[in-house]
Amino acid sequence: MVLVTGGAGYIGSHTCVELLKNGYDIVVVDNLINSHPKAIERVKRLAGKDFLFYEMDVCCETSLDTICNKHKIDCVIHFAGLKAVGESVAIPIAYYENNIVSTLALLKTMKKHGIRNIIFSSSATVYSGENTMPLTEDSLLGCTNPYGWTKYMNEQIISDAVAAETKMSAVLLRYFNPIGAHESGLIGEDPRGIPNNLLPFLAQLAAGKHEELSVYGDDYDTIDGTGVRDYIHVCDLAAGHVAAIKFCQSAKGTHAFNLGTGQGTSVLEMVNVFEKVSNVKIPYTIAPRRPGDLAASYADPTKAEKLLNWRTKKSLIEALTDTWRWQTNNPNGY
């Protein structure tokens, strides 16, 4: 059985569908701060299977202990955490406390109950801005914001815990830029307030919720001067977690993997493709660069392809089409 922390969230909910589809039994824990209970209902509907959901804080060792006493957990997928880069700069202490304490509580509970496998939801934000592209798992690490540092620190904490327990296995999945939604339109990204990420903002703008897009910088050394990122369909990302579980069963120690397409797409390229998908003109203005933003960031996914036997299958057009379907079917989110 797989314990999924933060399983009601954007990536967590899609991963739950993929796990159930592949025959895994799951238990989901989420405090619903950044998610909605309807996501859980819709995962059950999509998978045609029931599972137990606990509304609780992963920082609470007592609650985790109760769950592990009730269920025979074989593996943990740890998504739970605060996740907005900008917000992390404004309230860094809250990010360090929540994101690190939850991991410590989880690892202590795992040790107590003999749970040996963990998949950690990490991020490409752990990589330094000094690297050349594409980024490999051996690229220089270093962060520019508290959110990134919490991912970096959690990677180190997990690595140290695994090194001290010879039978443990950990997979650190460094996501690039998740986009898209389930093709059914039933689950997708449901940001609170004004979206921090490009695609949900574009979708809301096309739906009439915003007036225009601010493009931060058009003088980078890229194809059209705007920032380039590696956008990966959330369902491809979900499949990466199933592949990671299979890898954990035979590989001990800690292993990091990039999950990305290996292709970069600029902001204006995204705008152009989304206009075609939605048939809506996207108004935008050029704004000054934001401090800390990189010209480009994209993955070398070779290691995941070789060792996890995983690769992306869905195209950018599919991701944008699925996003627009989710937005039109759920104009106000869940």
Q: How confident is the model at residue 192 (pLDDT cuts 50, 70, 90)?
A: confident
* Interatomic CA distance for residues 27 and 48, integer angstroms: 15
| pLDDT at position 290 | 87
Cα angle 282, 177, 211; round to 5: 20
Cβ partners under 8 Å of residue 41, min gap 6: none
* Interatomic CA distance for residues 85 and 81, integer angstroms: 12
CATH domain 2-181+231-262+300-312 topology: Rossmann fold (3.40.50)
| pLDDT at position 144 | 87
The CA–CA distances, whole Å, from 63 to 2, 8, 11, 58, 290 equal 16, 17, 23, 8, 41
Average pLDDT of the residues of the chain: 97
Average pLDDT value for residue range 272-281 = 97
Q: Inter-axis angle of helices 267-278 and 316-329, to 10 degrees?
A: 60
More confident position, 293 or 92: 92
C-alpha Rg value of the chain to the nearest Å: 19
| pLDDT at position 44 | 98
C-alpha atoms less than 13 angstroms from C-alpha of 283 in its C-beta half-sphere: 7
DSSP string covering 281-315, please? ---EEEEPPPTT--SEE-B--HHIIIII-------
Cβ partners under 8 Å of residue 272, min gap 6: none
* Interatomic CA distance for residues 181 and 319, integer angstroms: 7
| pLDDT at position 216 | 96
DSSP string covering 82-129, please? ---HHHHHHSHHHHHHHHHHHHHHHHHHHHHHT--EEEEEEEGGGB-T
| pLDDT at position 291 | 82
Going 320 to 205 to 291 to 224, the CA torsion angle's sign is positive
The token pair at 123 is 């991020």
Q: How do residues 19-53 score in pLDDT, each as one tens digit?
A: 999 999 999 999 999 999 999 999 999 999 999 99
Q: How do residues 277-299 score in pLDDT, each as one tens digit?
A: 999 999 999 999 988 788 999 99
The CA–CA distances, whole Å, from 41 to 50, 51, 124, 143 equal 9, 10, 30, 36
Q: How confident is the model at residue 193 (pLDDT cuts 50, 70, 90)?
A: confident
Going from N- to C-terminal start, the domains of the chain cover: 2-181+231-262+300-312
Cβ partners under 8 Å of residue 182, min gap 6: 14, 17, 46, 188, 234, 235, 322, 326
| pLDDT at position 59 | 98
The token pair at 307 is 């060792």
Q: Is 147 a catalytic residue?
A: yes
80 neighbors 64 (Cβ within 8 angstroms): no
For the chain, the helix, strand and coil percentages under 3-state DSSP, each to the nearest 5 = 40, 20, 40
pLDDT at 69 over 90: yes
Q: How confident is the model at residue 151 (pLDDT cuts 50, 70, 90)?
A: very high
| pLDDT at position 298 | 98
C-alpha atoms less than 13 angstroms from C-alpha of 138 in its C-beta half-sphere: 2
Q: Find the largest Cα–Cα distance for the chain.
A: 56
Beta bridge partners of 139: none
| pLDDT at position 85 | 87
Q: How do residues 108-122 score in pLDDT, each as one tens digit?
A: 999 999 999 999 999
pLDDT at 243 over 90: yes
* Interatomic CA distance for residues 235 and 161, integer angstroms: 30
| Residue among 147, 152, 231, 298 flagged as catalytic | 147
| pLDDT at position 293 | 87
Q: How confident is the model at residue 183 (pLDDT cuts 50, 70, 90)?
A: very high
**Residue 146: is the preceding peptide bond cis (ω within 30°)?**
no
| pLDDT at position 196 | 87
Name the strand (E) or helix (H) holding 152.
helix 146-164
Share of the chain above pLDDT 90, in %: 95
